[in-house]
Amino acid sequence: MITLAGIIGSGKSSLTEILAQELGTTPFYEPVEDNPVLPLFYQGNEIAAKRRSAGEENVSNPYAYLLQTFFLNRRFKMIKQAKSGTNNILDRSIYEDAMFMKMNTDMGNATQIEYQIYQELLDNMLSELKFVSDDSNADLMVMIKVSYETMISRIKKRGREFEQIDTDPSLVSYYHNLLNYYSEWASSYNISPFLIIDGDKYDFVENLADRNHVLDQIENKLVEINSLTSQQLQQFKQRRY
């Protein structure tokens, strides 16, 4: 299984689609458009920030735990489906979900009790998934790393109102904080082989040369971890170049 990781607006869904078409495998996308909780979460963040600025203490976002549990449940289902084939692709990691829950707890958007229940649920799910693969069939984590400026540019381009800093100025500090958490998460991730793609340098959506370079990086890594053969690699390259 291949998992794409990266902050909001990094291009996970786009690269998931590109990579699935390249490899002829199945993509599994994060539930956003059919997620009834996500807009509520952003509203809850804004309300909580205003209440804190007014001097209230111990203010949490009432939708943080609900949102993260929603994502965890969907992710668990998609992982089981993705593991039924070879090199199927997820456009977000279950470990990122856990990072989001930790960040929301640290920020006060979720309570310690909610975090503890979430972690127990996550641990139970991971024990069922048996995530650690043997060397002959390793999973690959691919992180798209982008700067704040690139992230905001792409968020504006896709136009979801509840994600815009112009609509909710409190998102500026939230996004900067999220970048810091992603940096810490990437530096400590050791569950499976890990590849970082420079999302500032390579525009794999609109620039064909950049796209091919990114695909080469991923496919070379797949060969290295025995998830793709050298013959398959050459076939993919011949088809593209």
Query: Which residues contribute to the annotated binding site?
Result: 6-14, 30, 42, 68, 92, 97, 154-158, 163
Strand, helix or coil for residue 92: coil
Asked if 46 contacts 170 with a C-beta cutoff of 8 angstroms, the reply is yes
* Residues annotated in a binding site for substrate: 30, 42, 68, 92, 97, 163
Residue 15 has, within 13 A of its CA and on its CB side, a CA count of 32
* Residues annotated in a binding site for ATP: 6-14, 154-158
Please give the positions annotated as active site. Answer: 91
DSSP assigned state of 159: T
Contacts of 191 (CB under 8 A, 6+ apart): 95, 131, 132, 139, 141
The region that residue 9 occupies, defined by phi over 0 for left and psi between -120 and 50 for alpha, beta otherwise, is left
